[in-house]
Amino acid sequence: MKISVAIDGPAGAGKSTIAKLVGEKYNLMYINTGAMYRAVALKASENNLLPEHVDEICNLISSMEMHFENDDLILNGENIQEKITMPSISSIVSGYASLPEVRTILVKLQRDMSNKFDVIMDGRDIGTVVLKDSEFKFFLTASPEERAKRRFRELQERNLECSYDQILKDIIERDYKDTHRATDPLRKADDAIEIDTTNLDINGVVNVINEYIEKGK
CA distance 127 to 111: 12
What region, left, alpha or beta, does residue 31 occupy, with left being phi > 0 and alpha being psi -120 to 50 degrees? beta
Q: CB neighbours of 104 closer than 8 A, spacing ≥ 6?
A: none
Listed in sequence order, the DSSP H helices in the chain are 15-26, 33-46, 54-62, 81-84, 87-90, 93-97, 100-116, 144-157, 164-180, 202-216
CA 113 to chain centre: 15
CA 80 to chain centre: 15
Collapsing DSSP to helix, strand or coil, 80 comes out as coil
Closest CA to 100 of 166, 11, 182, 30: 182
In the annotated binding site, the residues are: 9-17
Residue 19 near residue 120 (C-beta atoms within 8 A): yes
For 98-111, the DSSP string reads: T-HHHHHHHHHHHH
In the annotated binding site for ATP, the residues are: 9-17
